[in-house]
Structure 1
Amino acid sequence: MSSTSTTATASALLAEIADVGRDAVRGGYTRRVFDPAELELRAWFTDHAVALGLDVRLDGNGNLWAWWGAPGPDAVVTGSHLDSVPGGGAFDGPLGVVSALAAVARLRSAGFTPSRPFAVAVFAEEEGSRFGVACLGSRLLSGAIDADRALALADADGVTFAAALTAAGLDPTRAGLDEAALARIGVFVELHVEQGRDLVDRGVAIAVATGILAHGRWRLRFTGSGNHAGTTPMTDRHDPVVAAAAAILATRHRGTAALSRTMQGEASAAAAPRATVGRIEVIPGGTNVIASLAELWLDVRADGEAAVRELVAAIGDDARAAAKLEGCAFELHEESFAPQVTFDPAVRDRIAGVLGGPPLIPTAAGHDAGILAGRVPTAMLFVRNPSGVSHAPDEFAGEEDCELGVDALVAVLEDLL
């Protein structure tokens, strides 16, 4: 496969990995970090990078770095990730990686020589689908998560991140804040498929990101009384699933109301609040059993921390009232919170100028660029997604738009390098 690296388009490179990690149950792709499918993609990336003359290195956090020349200070870095959510689409992550490879190939074929160090990066566990913490590789690199906490994270099979690193040939004692690697990064630019319909509605293919909305995850725990589904009268039940169901409906209601208030203020729809319950666990989970416990995981995003916490508090009040009505106990736990990210204005404006003034839009999705923004200048490019769907099989970017994305990345890299 690597022999095509000097000429392949982004779409052709995506086609090469189209059968890796297909999910026969969910559709789309399931590529968890350090699982066979993701390891195959890492090997594929390494082959292509080496064929382009890049020097591939693996850091202590499981992130790949493919250097054009020797690593050094004030480096320009681009890239994304190769892992996916369960049943995810083909573009989230891989589009940024293949676009970087295609851009390097085009620059090399044109005889371009960088005046600054340059690398393509592939970050580990961006989606958090195996160990539960999104952007784990970039969080460790930048010190945004404690190494001991990260190493103790376990997947659904009880395999810890430390064990997964070991199985991948890495030394867990090397995991954590990497000041030397951070000091080498002068600017990081991530290209990504858009996760929404903003560009579709605008009728343009490429945009530059302004920042990432504040984002948090909470666990709602409802504890009731387990019992027999056939012998327990309806009036004698304390069913946590009923309370949980009311909380799910409240999440939709509160999120929609917050959206309505935002739009009345003529704010951008891209910056409007979102509230989602995407994961539910019921114990014991029997068809003929009244559950004793139900847990929901709530995801809330909005323009600023205050808006996020206001929406969570309202949902929490509704959930608590539903639990009381059903005679259940209720707990609300914050599992993670990422504050609002504003990408470096000078880099953003420079890139926008190079590209002739594309739209400047926020995103409500988390990215490695957002994590790194706390330590190094970062920017993002978005490529139009005509379906508007992300984290699902219908996620898409047309071949022409993918190549326009590579065009944009090449222009940006030529300017920065």
Structure 2
Amino acid sequence: MSADTDTGALLIHGLGGTQYDLGAMHKVLKRAGVETHALTLPGHGATPEDLIGVRAESWLDAVTAKYREVAGRHDTLHVMGMCLGGLLAVELCKRENHRKGRLVSLAAPVFIDGWSTPWYRGLRHLVYRIPGLAAGMRVEEEEPYGLKNELVRSIVKAKFERGENFHYRWVPLSCVQEVDRLRGWVMRGLDAIACPTLIMHAHEDELTSARSARFLRDGIADSRLVLLDNSYHMICVDNDRDRVAAEVLSFMDRAAEAPQPSRLQSLDGEDAQRLLTAYRESLRAGEFETLFPLFADNVVWTEEGDSPLSGVYRGKSALIDLFSRLMDYSRNTLRILEVGAPELRGRAFAMPLRFQVQDGPGLQESGATHTLRLRANVITRVNSVADDPPRADALWRRLAAASLRHSAS
């Protein structure tokens, strides 16, 4: 059976967001043999001002059109949504009488009652009654950005500060009004949903409590609820992201990509090459959060030299501390400029890189070599040595001191 007639999945992003909201779900599903489809919701992908005047009907019309466009290509089509996308996925499956596949609702805010929402949140309904006022009011995206993982949170903060267009920094209150209208639709007629449904939500979701997930479970006959213990709202990129992916694959009757044999690989080995390529690409893109699945749980990272960064970091949790320091000391200006091809050195691989940071009024470039050891298709050791150790040590001492002064001011 061809890929065009087998299994597909429609993935719907969240409010103010992009497909980044869904983390690695596209990649995970594709590796499991599921063709994924996505869309950019009306008002998204450019500037927050574009959301002013967008109606909930426009979002629902867009996902309905995309659903109808791709449904004929597959024997099985699953529907998955995150946050606003979760609400839209539920309402889509209800209105389209979706029976061609399954429904996955991720952190859908049926109720906006999470622990970080202010006590006066209910007053927004009074503002809605004053013509034009809600359109001129902003709801800012603030820490913790839906993330319990401190490293991913610091990376997201840096992306916001650099102005990257992966998620809006704010949305107009009038847009939240449209979410409220959509929530009202979702609450009605859940018993009409005919497809098997997986509902995932974090106990500690700061935007919407687990009450939302339980409401969906109680209203949808053929549903299963999974509550997560170590994440905030953005469950596809937070600490529970691997469990989210595993639950989705299991629910869709799909196996994860088969693990490769546990053996030390040479550079010519396909698995070693894949691992090294992933490491290079993550560094090049500055997407440090995507490095973590590449490391062994007991990874040892040695940062040579005599600077505030120097030392031995044991385990993934220690690496969070290292990368958080890198972001803090550089005040989120760290840029990887170049990552060279790996060179086999005995039983390890050496990879040169160059980076740039803001140092006072100017930019400083520096270089280092990462020497990696691999086992069982993960990175077990990293040794990082600066090209010019005295100069690099002095640079990081200056940056650490400046960061401390900035924090104290």
TM-score in terms of structure 1 length: 0.24
